[in-house]
Amino acid sequence: MAETRALIIVDVQPTFCEGGALAVEGGNATAERIADFVTENADKYAMIVTTQDWHVNPGSHFSEDPDFIDTWPPHALAGTAEAELHEAVASLPIDAAVKKGEYEAAYSGFEGRDADGRFLEEILRAAEIEEVDVVGIAESHCVKETALDALKAGWPTRVLSDLTVPVSEELGIAARTEMDEAGVEQVASMSAFGFYEEGEDAPIPGDDASLAGAIGGNAYGSLYGSDGRYADGIDADAYGEEGTLRDGDPHSDGGDRYDGLDEDGEEPDLAARLTAGLGAGLSLSSEAGDVDLDDFDIDIDEEIDFSDDADETDFDFSDIDDAPTL
């Protein structure tokens, strides 16, 4: 929820993008995707925090002969343009920023401090954050370590998987496995905030009660708008006081409005209600799964083989002008 969730944008800096000292392939594109996501979803976060590598003299973290595991070529040098936030991220509505690694290696954003000397954990607790999302560069290193530390500190944590990128695919797989085993949730950004609120059950396809609720308990379903109008624009005033349609209304069948009851004065089952709303042409079972093909000018060979072993000899397209090629 917006008032309890924080977004941590990890190390989205030019030094880790194409053209930088320690470039990760796909870094610039990841920065742009993060910017687009935040632009659309900033209001869903109580706080947006950035982290930055900000190296002054990190000791053995730098090496002239790096192994790219524990030692690295010089990068993110404090005060240089490469150490600043990527231009796609710098203009976003950022609530707090921490820098890490001045005099030693630092992979997790939770090792960083803000300008007042507060660690990231202090900042989040002061804001009463209850959940954390993590994005940034690189998934296999600083994003992973930041997510794991957030989880260890007690926050339910998600990594938005399409808003991060690993140093290599192999290391990315290893990082995702480690996070998964630890309990970090990994979701695509498009699924981060679904239509249904947390804890609310989505309608289950084929479930009568859910489907009835989805169409508002109205036999016409989507024929009515939420404002009492038909979807085709006919106003509710088309009805007379006795519940009958005015003369000439195309929804009338002999002038009587469908009132949700069958001819015996009882509420029909879902199939009947849907059929009344959708019109003739489909025969719906209580599971809304059967279609009466006799209502369509289609010849179906009952002997058709629909198994995986079927080939073109099992299908007769002679009655169709543009027969498909199998």
Catalytic residues: 11, 100, 142
Within 8 A by CB and 6+ apart from 38, the residues are 7, 9, 48, 89, 92, 93
Q: Residue 295: what pLDDT? A: 57
For residue 217, tell me if it sits in a domain.
no
d(CA 86, CA 84): 6
Q: What is the pTM of this model?
A: 0.62
For residue 255, tell me if it sits in a domain.
no
Q: Residue 68: what pLDDT? A: 86
Q: Is 260 exposed, middle or buried (0-12, 13-18, 19+ CB in 10 A)?
A: middle
For residue 68, tell me if it sits in a domain.
yes
DSSP 168: S
DSSP E strand stretches across the chain: 5-10, 47-53, 96-100, 131-137, 157-165, 185-187
Which neighbouring-strand residues pair with 96?
49
For residue 244, tell me if it sits in a domain.
no
Q: Residue 44: what pLDDT? A: 96
Q: How many domains does the chain have?
A: 1
d(CA 313, CA 305): 10
Helices 144-152 & 169-182 angle (0-180, nearest 10): 10
Q: By three-state DSSP, how is residue 176 classified?
A: helix
Q: Tokens 């010849």: give the residue.
A: 299
Encoding tokens for residue 223? 């024929």
Residue 152: CATH number of its domain:
3.40.50.850
**Read out DSSP for 49-84?**
EEEEE-BS--GGGB-SS--SSS-B-S-SBTTSGGGS
Q: Residue 20: what pLDDT? A: 96
For residue 111, tell me if it sits in a domain.
yes
For residue 106, tell me if it sits in a domain.
yes
Tens digit of pLDDT at every position of the chain (326 positions): 447 999 999 999 999 999 999 999 999 999 999 999 999 999 999 999 999 999 999 999 999 999 888 899 999 999 999 999 999 999 999 999 999 999 999 999 999 999 999 999 999 999 999 999 999 999 999 999 999 999 999 999 999 999 999 999 999 999 999 999 999 999 999 999 974 344 444 444 344 433 333 333 333 333 333 333 333 443 444 434 444 443 444 444 444 444 555 566 665 555 555 444 444 444 344 444 455 556 555 554 555 555 556 565 555 555 555 545 54
CB 91 within 8 A of CB 38: no
Within 8 A by CB and 6+ apart from 304, the residues are 310, 314, 315
d(CA 156, CA 186): 11
What is the total residue count of the chain?
326
Which neighbouring-strand residues pair with 245?
239
For 30-51, the pLDDT digits (tens) are: 999 999 999 999 999 999 999 9
Q: Residue 321: what pLDDT? A: 54
Cα 101–Cα 54–Cα 106 angle in degrees, nearest 5: 25
Encoding tokens for residue 245? 């349609």
Encoding tokens for residue 94? 């950022």
For residue 187, tell me if it sits in a domain.
yes
Q: Residue 147: what pLDDT? A: 98
Q: Residue 188: what pLDDT? A: 97
The alpha-helical segments, DSSP class H, found in 217-308 are: 270-278
For residue 263, tell me if it sits in a domain.
no
Q: Is 259 exposed, middle or buried (0-12, 13-18, 19+ CB in 10 A)?
A: exposed
Q: By three-state DSSP, how is residue 203 classified?
A: coil
Q: Residue 291: what pLDDT? A: 53
**Read out DSSP for 130-142?**
-EEEEEEE-IIII
Domain boundaries, position 72: 5-191
